[in-house]
Amino acid sequence: MHYQTKNIRMPFITDLQKYKSLSIVGLEKNTGKTVCLNYVLNRLHAIGRKTAVTSIGIDGERVDQVFGSHKPEIILYDGMQFITSEKHYSGRQLLSKVIAVDSDSTALGRLITAEVVCSGKVLLSGASTTEKLRSQINYFVSNGLDITIVDGALSRLSLASPSVTDAMILCTGAAVSPNLRQLILKTKFTFDLINLEMINNSLLTDKLSKISSGIWCVDTDDNIFDLDIPSVFLLEKTTKDIFQHGDTLYVSGAVSDKLLKYLTTKKNIANQTLIVRDFTKLFITPEMYNTYTKKGGKIRVLQQSKLIAVCLNPTSPNGYTIDSAEACKKLSESLEVPVWDIMKIE
């Protein structure tokens, strides 16, 4: 299936209006997050949505700190609100009025919340933790903003956790791999993790969502049992049968290849279900994931991220360019969703 992207309005802007917060994340640095952000901001401004923008880390710099290449700057419009550090607020290229000054100080000074009076450019440097981001989003919601957009520095997929933002846009491109086949495989793997099936049991979801640490077993009656194993790294040292109560495990923290490799050695793998909070807790390779699932193991999530769009940057920072039309077409066919090259949309 081939999706035409030229000369049409991006349909996910309409979808976006259903949500209060959005993260824009990339599989790698230089996958076009800022270009995507500017497009979304422009369209939201055009339809009159009250928009706020913040960041984790630093975004909007004019020159890439690693490759030394030119980068697009973030453009904000009249009426938009934003958060940045004192250092970068003083260097803004727009007119704005200060709404609030955070009492907590960062390496770049206190965080300033401001409203744009006259459109222009700004460098964003925001919260250093997801907890701080959640409080910022809640602040904007309580003050009547329609949507808060979080622009992620580097490739921090943790921003896309449904516990942080309601929806996400995934950016990929030649920076991930100049080889189209590898680019598709890597993007498809992350896409599949984002779309992992949720457990269809609201009572069990409620129980497990309150657990903040350790590994737990779930029996057939949805009773949960603390296995007294604080970390997956201690699994190999335990002598107890972790499946003594049932074939379902809940891991509250991060899951790595080491855990999946351990689980594949168990005789009951075909009946196993591993539950995690959401896809951002999975730090696994495609190879180990495929090995685990092909043997019958299943991974489910308590919360599923709402993926609004997949966007592609056909140019890598070292100057290599892939064919945009071919890449969008083949990625669309693999993911079975539209893939957009923002620069090709008018």
Write down the pLDDT at residue 14: 87
Pairing status of strand 147-152 against strand 21-26: parallel
Residues 322-344 have pLDDT tens digits of 999 999 999 999 999 999 998 88
Residues 106-115 have pLDDT tens digits of 788 899 999 9
- Residue in 328, 317, 334 with CA at minimum distance from that of residue 29: 317
Distance, in Å, from the CA atom of 302 to the CA atom of 163, rounded to the nearest integer, reads 11
Q: How far is CA 127 from the centre of its chain?
A: 16
Burial call 315-337: b when 16+ CB within 10 Å, e when fewer: bbbeeeebebeebbbbbbeebeb
Helix, strand, coil % over all residues of the chain, rounded to 5: 30, 30, 40
Residue 139 reports pLDDT greater than 70: yes
Residues 188-214 have pLDDT tens digits of 999 999 999 999 899 999 999 999 899
pTM attached to this predicted model: 0.87
DSSP state of 27: S
Residue 162 reports pLDDT greater than 90: no
Distance, in Å, from the CA atom of 81 to the CA atom of 95, rounded to the nearest integer, reads 12
- Residue in 298, 291, 310 with CA at minimum distance from that of residue 273: 298
Residue 289 reports pLDDT greater than 90: yes
φ/ψ of 6, rounded to 5, equals -85, 145
202-301 carries CATH number 3.30.530: no
**What average pLDDT score do residues 127-140 get?**
88
Name which residue leads in pLDDT, 204 or 346: 204
Write down the pLDDT at residue 105: 77
Q: Where are the alpha helices (DSSP H) in the chain?
A: 12-16, 33-46, 86-90, 130-142, 180-194, 202-209, 257-264, 286-294, 324-335
**CA-based end-to-end distance of the chain:** 22
Write down the pLDDT at residue 41: 95
- Answer whether 176's CB lies under 8 Å from 183's CB: yes
Q: Which residues contact 17 (CB under 8 A, 6 or more apart)?
A: 47, 49, 146, 147
**What average pLDDT score do residues 282-295 get?**
96
In the chain, pLDDT over 90 holds for what percent of residues? 68
Q: Which residues contact 142 (CB under 8 A, 6 or more apart)?
A: none
Q: Where are the domains of the chain?
A: 12-195+305-344, 202-301
Residue 124, strand partner residues: 59
Residue 69 reports pLDDT greater than 60: no
The third-level CATH classification (topology) of the domain covering 12-195+305-344 is: Rossmann fold (3.40.50)
